[in-house]
Amino acid sequence: MVNGRSDSLTVSESSGIWQRLLDAALSLQCKATGLVVILTLAVTAAVSGYLLRSSGELVRDQHDTYMVQVASVLAKAAATTFASRDRRALQELATESATGAPLLYVIFSDVDGRQLAVAEHRNASLLRRLHRDSSERAPVPGLPVFRAGHDNMPVFLDITYPVSIRAPEARTRIGSPSDPKSKLVGYVRTGMIANSWHRTMSSKLDIVVGVGILATIAAIPLGFLLIRRIVSPLEGLAGVMLRFSRGELDVRSSVRRRDEIGRLALAFNRMADQHQHTHDRIVQLNAELEKRVAQRTQQLRELASREPLTGLYNRRYFNEMLERRFSETTRYETDLSCIMIDLDGFKAVNDAFGHHIGDELLVLTARTITDQLRSADVAARFGGDEFILLLPQTDADRARVLGERIVDQFTRSAAERFPKVDISMSMGIASLPSLDIRDAESLIRTADHALYDAKAAGKNRVVTALSASKPAPI
C-alpha cells in the first residue's frame, strides 16, 4: 500500500511539473520573448550591415584623404625643383620618396605628360602595369584610383597630383602688388598599398546583409501571428471595459485563457462584481458628501461676510445686499430706508478708558441694533464706530421710529453697563421713494449727510433727509 501511494504521489508531482512548464510555454511572456528575440536578430543584422558599410566607407575616405595629403606634400616639396628645371634634383627627390614606406613609386612629369623623373620601391613591380593602365585611361588629377591586384601584385591606390608654383602678377597703376597667382608646372604621380579592408569588406558585407534580409522575412509572418494572438483577446477585453466605463455595470468578459490575458480578464470580472456591489453605497455617500459640502460652503460664506468683533455683516456684504435691494425697490416701487449710525464721543472714550472699553461699547451697540431688527433687515459695521442699516419695505416714518427705539435702548444699556462713560448715538435716515435718488451710493451719501446734520444739531438724535434742516431732539 505504501509503495502504491508513493507511486501515485510521484505521478501527481510529475504531472504538476509538466503542467507548470506547459503554462509557462503558453504564457504571454514566453510568446512576447520569442517575438522580441526574432525582431532583435533582424534589427541587429540590419544595423550591423549598415554600420559595416558606413565603417568601410569611412575608412576608405580616410585612406583616400591621407593619400591626397601625401601627394600634396610631395607636390609642394617638388615645386621649387620644378621651377629650377633641375632633373637631377627631381630624380633624387623621387628616389628618396619611393625608398621608404608607404609609397610604392613616384613619377614626376611636365604639363604635357613627359616623364622627368621615375622611382620605384625595391619590392614593387608596378610601373609596367601602371603604364598599361594609363594608356587605357588617363588619370584624373587629385582623385585616388583603386587598382585591383592580380598576377601576385598588391592592391594599391594610384593618384596624380598637380605641381604649381606662385608668381606675382603685374602691379596695378597705383603701385601696390596684387595677390600671387599659381602656375601649373607639372604633375607628381604616386601609389600606396591599400589596407586589408578592400579585400574582405565586400564579402562580410554581403553575408551580414543576407542574414538580415532572411531574418526580417522570417520575422514578418511569425510576428504577425504572435501579435494577432495577443491583440485579438485584448481587443475583446478592451471592448468590454469600454462598455463598463459607459455605465453597463453588468457586462463581463468572456475571455478564457491560461496566460496573463486570461488572468487579466478574470481580475476584471472580479473587479466589476465588486464595483457593482458597492456602486449604490458610493452614490449614497456621494449624496451625503454633497450635502455636507453645501452646508460647509454656506457656513464659510456666512463667516466671510461677518465682522469678527461685533458679529455684524461687513461692508462688502452690505454693498452686495444694497445693490440687490435697491434694484428691487426701483423696479417694484416699494419702500427702502437706510440708516447711518455713529457713536458720539467714541474717540474720547477710547482715549480715557482704553480700547477694551471701546470694543465692549461696539459689541453693546451691535447687540442693541440686532435686538430691534427683523430677519429681512441688514445691519453692518461701516467702519470704526459707524454702523449702517438697510430696511426693506420700510418708509421714512417707520425707520425713524426704529432709530429712536435703538437710541433709547442703547442709552439705557450703556448707562447701566458703563455708568462713568459719557456716550450717545446719532443717526441719519434716507428713504425711498420719498427722495429722488438714482443709485445705491447716493442713498448712502444722503443718509450720511443726514447724520452730519444730526451731529451739527447737537448729537444724540435722529435726523431724516427730508427734515434735515429742522432736526428734532430726542
Question: Which of the two residues, 63 and 185, has the higher pLDDT score?
Answer: 185
Domain co-membership, 267 together with 379? no
Domain co-membership, 332 together with 451? yes
Question: Which of the two residues, 68 and 409, has the higher pLDDT score?
Answer: 409
Domain-terminating residue out of 202, 220, 246: 246
The domain total for the chain is 3
Which neighbouring-strand residues pair with 365?
A: none
Q: Is the pLDDT of residue 302 over 90?
A: no
**Omega before 141 within 30 of 0, i.e. cis:** no
**Cell 507548470, located at residue:** 20
Domain co-membership, 42 together with 160? yes
| 15-48 pLDDT, tens digit each | 777 777 776 565 555 666 666 666 666 677 677 7
Domain co-membership, 366 together with 425? yes
Q: Is the pLDDT of residue 351 over 70?
A: yes
Domain co-membership, 378 together with 465? yes
Distance (Å, rounded) from C-alpha 364 to C-alpha 343? Answer: 11
Q: Which residues have a Cβ under 8 Å from the Cβ of 229 and sit 6 or more positions away?
A: 31
Q: Which residues have a Cβ under 8 Å from the Cβ of 334 and sit 6 or more positions away?
A: 328, 392, 393
| 272-300 pLDDT, tens digit each | 888 878 887 888 888 888 888 888 887 78
Distance (Å, rounded) from C-alpha 310 to C-alpha 369? Answer: 11
Q: Is the pLDDT of residue 367 over 70?
A: yes
Domain co-membership, 377 together with 253? no
Domain co-membership, 153 together with 20? yes
- Residue-number span of the structural domain to which 291 is assigned: 249-304
CATH of the domain at 64: 3.30.450.20
Domain co-membership, 392 together with 293? no
Domain co-membership, 242 together with 253? no
Domain-terminating residue out of 246, 268, 295: 246
pLDDT of residue 249: 80
Q: Categorize the per-residue pLDDT at 116 as very low, low, confident or very high, splitting at 50, 70 and 90.
A: confident
Question: Which of the two residues, 49 and 307, has the higher pLDDT score?
Answer: 307
pLDDT of residue 455: 93
Max mean pLDDT range (235-244, 258-267, 292-301, 350-359): 350-359
Residue 420 counted as domain residue: yes
Q: The whole model's pTM is what?
A: 0.43
Query: Per-residue pLDDT averaged across 140-151, rounded?
Result: 69
Residue 172 counted as domain residue: no
Note the maximum CA span of the chain.
141
